[in-house]
Structure 1
Amino acid sequence: MLWTEADTAARIAVPDAFADKHRRGVLGAIVGSERYPGAAVLGVEAAHRTGLGMVRLIAPRRVEDLVLARRPEVVTGDGRVEAWLVGSGQDARLRSPSLAATLHAALGSGAPIVLDAGALDLAAQAAGAAVVTPHHGELVRMLAHVGIETHADAVRGAPAEWAGRAAESFDAVVLLKGAESVVAAPDGSVIRLPPATHWLATAGSGDVLAGILGALVATHAGEVHADAARLAELAASAAVVHSLAAARASGGGPLVALDVAEAVPATIAALLAA
C-alpha cells in the first residue's frame, strides 16, 4: 500500500485542553557521541518540533551542552519515558561499557524503541516493540549478523523484499531509507512511501528522521503497547513528514538537515489543515 498525506495527518497527536508535558509524551534519547555530537542536536530538535511534551537526553557532557545550547527545554538524565530513540550519532565499534549498559537498560524496559545508526546491531534484543531505520548499506550489515548475505545494489533494486526479510529476521518494523523508501512489518505487510526530494541526500537528514519518528512513537506509545502494528504506520508517517518538510525547506534548491527540522511545525500544520 502507498502511504498518503491523509494517512499521516491521522497519526498526528493534537493536544487537547487536558494536555500537559507528560500526557503529550516523553521521549528518552540516548543519542550522540564525542565524535558525532551534531546527531543529537538534530534528532532532539526534530523531536521537539514534531509535537511531544518533553525529551530526556542521556549523552556525554559535551553532547548535553551542545543540545542545551540549542534546546534549553531538554531535560538530562534518567526518568520516566514513554518511548526511546537510541543510536543516532554513535558507532557500535566504539561503544563503551557504560554506553552498552545504558542501551541495554532501554532495550529491556519494554517501552517502544527506535533504533538508528550505531544501535542497529541491537535490534533483536528489544523487549518491546521496535523499529529500525537503516539505509541500504546498514541493512546489508544487519542481515549479515543473521547469516543472510546480500549487497547494497541488491537491496536498492528490491527494497520491499529485503526490508521484509529483515523485519521477519529481527521481529521489528524496518524503515528502509533510500531513493525508494519502504516500511516493512514482521507480519509481512509493506508500506510504500512517496518519493522525496533528492536534495534530502545530505548529512544529518537521517538524524532528523529518527527524531521525528521518536516523537511520533512517544506520543502514541499507549497505542503501540496495545497493538504493535501501529509502529509501522508511525514509521511511514514520520517518513512522509520528513519528506514534506524537506520539500518545504528546499523550495527546489539545496538544504541542510537543520532546515528540515525547522520546517516540521509548518509541515504538520499544513497536514492538519488539509
Structure 2
Amino acid sequence: MGDFTTWKPDDAARLIAVPGERDDKYSRGVLGVITGSDRYPGAAVLGVEAALRTGVGMVRYLGGERVSTLVLQRRPEAVTAEGRVQAWLVGSGMDHDGRDDQTVALSTAAMTQALPTVLDGGALDLHEGATGPVVITPHYGELARVLDVAKERIVADPATWARTAADELGVTVLLKGHATYVVGGGLALVASSAPTWLATAGAGDALAGILGALVATHTDEIAADPAVLAKLAATASVVHGLAAMRASRGGPLTVLDLAHEVSGTIAGLLASS
C-alpha cells in the first residue's frame, strides 16, 4: 500500500455528522440525486435508500417519470421536485455515451452550481465541467476508460492509478475494489473492511449514496478544507464495508440488505468513538 494511510472505523466515526436539537431537514443537509435510467432504474432506488439511511435531512431525486415512481415506491420521503441542495450525486446507473436529453440538462445544471459533487458510473466524464469540488467513484474498468489505459494495468497497481487519476483529473478519486483507494486534497487513504461477498451488482450504487449523504452533511467543512472530501470518501467505504459485514454474517447478501444495515453500522461507530 506504499504511503497510503489505512482509514479505520475510529477515523470514520469522527466524520459522522450528528444532528443537534436546533437542526431541521435543511440544516442537516439536502442531497440532490440524478441517477438511474430506464435501463438501470434500480441504481437510483439503491442510492436513495443508502443515502437516507446514512443520515441526511432530505434527498431530492430528479429523473424520469418511471425511475421517480420506483424511487417513491421504495422511499416515499424522497422529494422529486427541484429546489436547493447542498451537494449532488450524479451518474449511478447511467451509460456514459447514452444519457438522454433530460439527464444531460439536469446534470449540466448541477455542475454549474459550484457544489460538492459525487460522480459515479456513467457521469465520470462530467468532472470537466464541474465548478465545485468533485469526487469520482470508479471501479477498475471505469477508471481505465476515463484514463484511456488498459484495465489490466489498473488491476495490477490500483493504488498508483488512483494517485495518477487524482493528479491528472484534478479531482478526489475513490477507486473501488476489495481494498478501496482514496486520493485527494493531499491525502492518500486506503480502506478495507468489506467481505468478498460484496462483489455484487448494485454495491457501487449504495456506496455512492452513502458518500453523497456524507458530503451533503459536510459542505461547510469541504469548503474550508479540500482534504475533507477524501476523508469522507474513505469514511463512506468503511461504512459500506461494515454494513456489508453485518448484512452478510458470513454468507451472501443483497444490496438492500446492506442498505438496511447502514443505520445500525453508523450507530455502532458513534457508540464506540
Contact 1:159–1:180 under 8 Å retained in 2: no
Contact 1:164–1:186 under 8 Å retained in 2: no
Contact 2:29–2:86 under 8 Å retained in 1: yes
Q: Which amino acid aligns with 1:270?
A: G
Q: Which amino acid aligns with 1:25?
A: G
Aligned-residue identity in percent: 56
Aligned residue for 1:175? 174
What TM-score, normalized to structure 1?
0.96
Contact 2:45–2:74 under 8 Å retained in 1: yes
Aligned residue for 2:68? 64
Q: Which amino acid aligns with 2:15?
A: R
Aligned residue for 1:218? 216
Contact 1:11–1:234 under 8 Å retained in 2: yes
Stretch deviating more after TM superposition (94-103 or 227-236): 94-103
Say which SS state the counterpart of residue 40 (structure 2) adopts.
coil
Say which SS state the counterpart of residue 206 (structure 1) adopts.
helix
Contact 2:210–2:236 under 8 Å retained in 1: yes
Aligned residue for 1:155? 154
4+ residue segments displaced more than 4 Å: none
Give per-residue Cα distances to partners, 1:91-135, cap 9 Å, x unaligned.
Answer: 121112332121111111100000000101112221100000000
**Alignment partners' CA distance in 2, 1:67 and 1:117:** 18
Equivalent of 1:75, from 72, 79, 83? 79
Aligned residue for 1:147? none
Q: Which amino acid aligns with 1:105?
A: A
Give per-residue Cα distances to partners, 1:11-68, cap 9 Å, x unaligned.
Answer: 0000111111001000000011111110000000000000010000001001111110
Q: Which amino acid aligns with 1:131?
A: V
Contact 1:30–1:59 under 8 Å retained in 2: yes
Q: Which amino acid aligns with 2:227?
A: A
Say which SS state the counterpart of residue 76 (structure 1) adopts.
coil
**Alignment partners' CA distance in 1, 2:152 and 2:145:** 13
1:157 Cα deviation from its structure 2 partner:
2.0
Name structure 1 gaps, 5 residues minimum.
Answer: 145-149
1:133 lines up with 2:137 in the alignment: yes
Aligned residue for 1:205? 203
Equivalent of 1:28, from 28, 32, 49? 32
**Two-structure CA RMSD over aligned residues (Å):** 1.0
Contact 1:171–1:186 under 8 Å retained in 2: no
Contact 2:185–2:229 under 8 Å retained in 1: no
**Alignment partners' CA distance in 2, 1:266 and 1:179:** 22
1:105 lines up with 2:104 in the alignment: no
**Alignment partners' CA distance in 2, 1:156 and 1:185:** 20
Name structure 2 gaps, 5 residues minimum.
Answer: none
**Alignment partners' CA distance in 2, 1:98 and 1:107:** 14
1:246 lines up with 2:244 in the alignment: yes
**Alignment partners' CA distance in 2, 1:179 and 1:74:** 31
Contact 1:200–1:255 under 8 Å retained in 2: yes
Say which SS state the counterpart of residue 194 (structure 2) adopts.
coil
Stretch deviating more after TM superposition (51-60 or 96-105): 96-105
Q: Number of matched residues?
A: 268
**Alignment partners' CA distance in 2, 1:24 and 1:253:** 35
Contact 2:35–2:63 under 8 Å retained in 1: yes
**Alignment partners' CA distance in 2, 1:179 and 1:266:** 22
**Alignment partners' CA distance in 2, 1:242 and 1:158:** 23
**Alignment partners' CA distance in 1, 2:189 and 2:41:** 32
Say which SS state the counterpart of residue 236 (structure 1) adopts.
helix
**Alignment partners' CA distance in 2, 1:249 and 1:136:** 25
Say which SS state the counterpart of residue 127 (structure 1) adopts.
coil
Contact 1:124–1:171 under 8 Å retained in 2: no
1:269 lines up with 2:267 in the alignment: yes
Contact 2:185–2:228 under 8 Å retained in 1: no
What TM-score, normalized to structure 2?
0.96
1:14 lines up with 2:18 in the alignment: yes
